Amino acid sequence: LVSDGYDAYVINVGDSRCILIEGKPTNNNDVIHSKQKSKNKRRNKWSLSYRQISSDHNPAKRLDEQERVRNSNGQFWRQGDELRLYPKDKTFKEARRKGLAINMTRAVGHSTLCNHGLIAVPECYHVKIEQDHEYIFIMASDGLWDILKNEQVF
């Protein structure tokens, strides 16, 4: 995540995801009672919403990534709900034994699978920052997203 206060850029590669929680002031002003001061203050009420910013590079969820890998000398083995990428010139058993089976289509630093469809090219996403809004970016790997849905994190 890179931001200058006006624009934010999320750059994603691998089995990670980013969601954005955004707070926006509503139009109606209500009186808020403060316990620390006896005076009433007028403050904006806020509404909260979330949206998914990036997309996991999980081949089971991305048909576009499956096609790209298959066109780049890679193939997949279905293991339950997961697809494992491995080289076309090996059996899945041999690839797994050699550490050449992975359940993502993009990652940094795999010198063998980069010849079989795994790429390190990130996907980039832009968010325009509104000066009167509040933002919380939640970035996590599959350790979180395999267990909790976006709505549960929000």
Residue of 80, 58, 79 lying closest to 69 (CA atoms) = 58
For 91, residues 6+ apart whose C-beta sits below 8 A from its C-beta are: none
- pLDDT block averages, 10 residues each, the chain of length 154: 96 94 79 44 79 94 95 94 94 95 92 94 96 96 93 95
Given this model, what pLDDT does residue 27 score? 73
- What are the distances in angstroms from CA 77 to CA 3, 62, 108? 39, 15, 21
pLDDT confidence of residue 45? 87
The reported pLDDT for the residue numbered 36 is 46
Give strand pairing partners of 52: 19
> Of 14, 30, 7, which is closest to residue 119 (Cα–Cα)?
14
**Residue 33: predicted pLDDT:** 38
pLDDT the model gives residue 79: 87
- How high is the pLDDT of residue 94? 96
pLDDT at 29: 55
Give the model's pLDDT for residue 144. Answer: 95
